[in-house]
Amino acid sequence: MQKTSNKRRRWPWVVGGLVTLLVVAFLGAALYFFNVAMVAGHKSFINNNTKIEKSDPLYAQKMWFQKTPKQVWTMKSATDNLKLDADYIPAAKKTNKSVLIAHGYMNNKDSMGAYAAMFHQLGYNVLIPDARAHGDSQGKYIGYGWPERYDERKWINRLIKENGADSQIVMFGVSMGGATTMMTSGIKLPSQVKAFIEDCGYTSVNAELMHEAKDLYGLPVFVAWPLIKTMSGINRVANGFFIGQASSVKSLHHNHRPMLFIHGTKDTFVPTAMVYQNYAATRGPKELWLVKGAVHAKSFATAPAAYQEHVKDFLEKYIK
C-alpha cells in the first residue's frame, strides 16, 4: 500500500515536469521564430543576389540606377529616434511630382533601382528610403510596415518641404513595401499625397506569418496559431506592437485616395488571393491588375512594358 501511495504522490510531479518542459520548449520555439521573422539579418528563404545580369529584363533600368548620382537624405524615425537613410534623385526637369518608394523584406533602396528608373522616366522626383533595420538605416527589429507607416509620413513631409506646398506625391511599394504603402494609406496624411500603388503586399502580418509557417516549415494551424500568438507578445515588448495590429486590410478601410493593386498570378510567397481582400477593403477609387505568370515581386520583370504603361495610365488620372 505504501508503494502505491508513493507512486500516486509522484505522479503530479511527473506531469508537472512534463508540462514545464513543454512550456519551455514552446517558448524556445516562439523565440526562435521571432528571431527568424522579426530580427534583421540574413534569411535563408530570401534571395538577395544583387548581381545584374545582361539577361535581366530590367537590366537597362538597374544599370541606369547604379550610374545615376543620388542625394543622401537622413532623418530620425517617427517613434524611436533611429537614424534613417534615403536616396533622392531629382527629376530631369523641375517638377512638383514625386514618388516615395518602399522596398521589400530584407531588401534595401538599391533593390528598387528598376522602379526608380521607371518613375524617373515618367518625370518624377524619386525618394527611396531604407526601412528601419534595413540597408543603411538603424534598427534591430523589422516592422513589416506598421511602425514604418509613420516614418513614411515624415518622408512625405520632407518631400513637401523640398519641393513645395504644391507637391503631388505618389507612394509606391513592393511586397513588404506594398503592405507599408497600404498601411500608410490608413493614417492621416498631407493633402499633397494623391495616389498609391502597391505591388504584391500582404493582407496582414498575422496572415503572412501563418502562411509562411505552413509553406516554409510545414506547421499545422494548431501549432502555428499559438506560436504566432506567443511571438506577438514578444514582439510587443521588443518591437512595440502586437502582430495582430499590423493589418493592410484594416488600414485600407480608412483610405479614400486612389490605389492601384498589382499582383502576380503565380505568387506563392504572398498568395495571389490576398490581393482580392486588399482590393475589396479600400474605400477610394481603385484598379486591380493581375500579371499572368508572375511569381512574387516579379511582375515588372515579367511584363516590363505593360507594367510601366499600367502605372502611367493610372497616375495620369490623378497627377496633373
What gap in Å lies between CA 262 and CA 137, rounded to an integer?
A: 27
What gap in Å lies between CA 46 and CA 62, rounded to an integer?
A: 20
**Residue 12, SS3 per DSSP:** helix
Residue 1 pLDDT level (bands cut at 50, 70, 90) = very low
In this predicted structure, the answer to whether residue 3 has a pLDDT above a threshold of 90 is no
> For domain 56-204+246-316, is the CATH number 3.40.50.300?
no
| Domains of the chain by residue range | 1-38+205-240, 56-204+246-316
Please list, residue by residue across 211-231, b when 16 or more beta carbons sit within 10 angstroms of its beta carbon and e when fewer do: bbbeeeeebeeeebeebbebb
Instruction: List C-alpha distances in Å: 306 to 155, 299, 311.
Output: 29, 10, 9
Grid-cell match 502562411, residue found: 211
Q: What is the largest CA-CA distance in the chain?
A: 96
In single-letter form, the type of residue at position 189 comes to L
- Per-residue pLDDT tens for 114-148? 999 999 999 999 999 999 999 999 999 999 999 99
Answer whether 227's CB lies under 8 Å from 29's CB: yes
- Per-residue pLDDT tens for 164-214? 999 999 999 999 999 999 999 999 999 999 999 999 999 999 999 999 999
Residue 100's H or E segment, with its range, is strand 97-102
- For residue 263, the tally of other CB atoms under 10 A from its CB is 27
